Amino acid sequence: MTNHFDTVAQEWDRNQLHLQRTEAIAQLLLQKIKLNAKMRGLEFGSGTGLLSFALQSHLADIILMDSSVEMTNTTITKVENAQLTHLHPIFFDLEKEDYQDATFDIIFSQMALHHVGDIDKIIGKFAALLPAGGHLALADLYAEDGTFHDMEFHGHFGFNPDDLASILQKHHFTLVNHSQCFVIEKNTSEGPKSYPVFLLTAVKV
């Protein structure tokens, strides 16, 4: 999957759907979580950093973490061009390694979780990076029929947010809330289909 994202990195921000989805997620996230200029954030699976760019004026510092080299390089260029010194893109695979350089006040991601193999493990890693009172915000697909990806895909066909909530509670998250924030319209081999996206938020105990 990383090779796919390496290939599409430079074209990613030209897709209006990506921009519209990010805007919708960011707007709902800001309604659900009160951010402030003292908070440190981590965007997991940041891609080209669209969500971090949308939230950057509300946070003091953001680590943009991705396991695609080209996505990371593209983001580094964007950050440099925008002269944003509080955004820090890093090439890092949290699925395979433990990040120990910092803790965060909020961890957020969009459309990254369904690419992760072991959901329970990654939620545990999120929990380890958040102190009590830290926030988690995950945007991803509701459970779908497997037609969303038009390529060979070995991840999850979306999620039932209530199932994710059960995993979160196991890792000491509370105030778990989720609601629809966007709908992706796609032409598939089976014709036009709609794929709703949820935003799930939670607080670390």
For residue 117, the domain's CATH number is 3.40.50.150
Specify the pLDDT at position 2. Answer: 54
Could you tell me the residue range of the domain that residue 168 belongs to? 2-184
The total domain count for the chain is: 1
Q: How far is residue 204's CA from residue 136's CA, in Å, rounded to a whole number? A: 8
Specify the pLDDT at position 13. Answer: 86
Query: Could you tell me which residues are beta bridge partners of residue 200?
Result: 138, 178
Q: How far is residue 56's CA from residue 21's CA, in Å, rounded to a whole number? A: 17
Does the residue 204 lie in any domain?
no
Q: Residues 157, 143: contact at Cβ < 8 Å?
A: yes
Specify the pLDDT at position 6. Answer: 63
Q: Which residues of the chain have pLDDT under 50?
A: 1
Specify the pLDDT at position 150. Answer: 76
DSSP H stretches of helix in 43-160:
50-55, 69-82, 119-128
Q: Residues 58, 37: contact at Cβ < 8 Å?
A: yes
Does the residue 114 lie in any domain?
yes
First-to-last alpha carbon distance for the chain, in angstroms, is 33
Does the residue 195 lie in any domain?
no
Does the residue 201 lie in any domain?
no
Q: Which helix (H) or strand (E) holds 38?
A: none
Specify the pLDDT at position 8. Answer: 75
